[in-house]
Amino acid sequence: MCMMCEGASLDDVRFHIHGLIEGSGWAVIPVEGNTPYRSWAYTVGLVQTFDHPELVVVGLDPLAAGRLLNSIGDAIRTERA
């Protein structure tokens, strides 16, 4: 899940995130903690694309947080269409 941990450069990661924002309007950035309940995730792109505040989820494992934030992002996109 950590692109840089797997050898990607910072530019590779930025390019990937930019592609996600171009494709769906936002990207979800997970931040893994020592345990799943110390992890958090946030969105990037909602302000720019939909004039909506960015979102943060704390205390869920990264996959669950990503699913939640993407579901909310889908609802925001549908509302703004």
Q: What is the mean pLDDT of residues 12-22?
A: 93
9 vs 75, residue with greater confidence: 75
Q: Rounded to 5 degrees, what are φ and ψ at 43?
A: -95, 155
> Residue 46 has what DSSP assignment?
H
CA nearest 47: which of 12, 73, 78, 19?
73
The pLDDT confidence band at residue 1, using thresholds 50, 70 and 90, is: low
d(CA 25, CA 23): 6
pTM: 0.87
CA distance 34 to 37: 8
DSSP code of 67?
Answer: H
